[in-house]
Amino acid sequence: MRDAFTDQLDAVHADLARICEAVRTAVERATHALFTGNAAVAEQVISDDAEIDRAREQLEEHAFELLSRQAPVAGDLRTVVASLRMVGELERMGDLSVHVAKIARMRVPQVAVPDDLVPMIGRMAQLAEEMVQQAGEIIRDRDAARAADLVPDEEELDRLRSELFRTLLAEDWQHGVETAVDIALLCRYYERIGDHALSLATRIVFVVTGQPSRED
Whether residue 215 lies inside any domain: the answer is: no
The total number of structural domains that make up the chain:
1
| pLDDT mean over 14-33 | 97
Comparing 5-14, 49-58, 129-138, the range with the smallest average pLDDT is: 5-14
- Residue 214 forms part of a structural domain: no
Q: How many C-beta atoms surround the C-beta of residue 19 within 10 A?
A: 24
Q: Is the pLDDT at 81 greater than 80, yes or no?
A: yes
Task: Tell whether the model's pLDDT for residue 1 goes beyond 60.
Answer: no
Alpha helix ranges (H) inside 108-175? 118-141, 151-169
pLDDT at 55 over 70: yes
Distance CA 37, CA 40 (A): 9
pTM of the model: 0.93
Domain of 57 in residue numbering reads as: 2-209
The Cα–Cα gap between 27 and 114 comes to 20
Q: Which of 73, 74, 207 is nearest to 215 (CA)?
A: 207
Give the domain CATH number at 161: 1.20.58.220
For 172, list phi and psi in degrees, rounded to 5: -90, 15
> Mean of the pLDDT values across residues 191-216?
84
Read off the pLDDT band of 2 (50, 70, 90): low
Q: For residue 205, is it within any domain?
A: yes
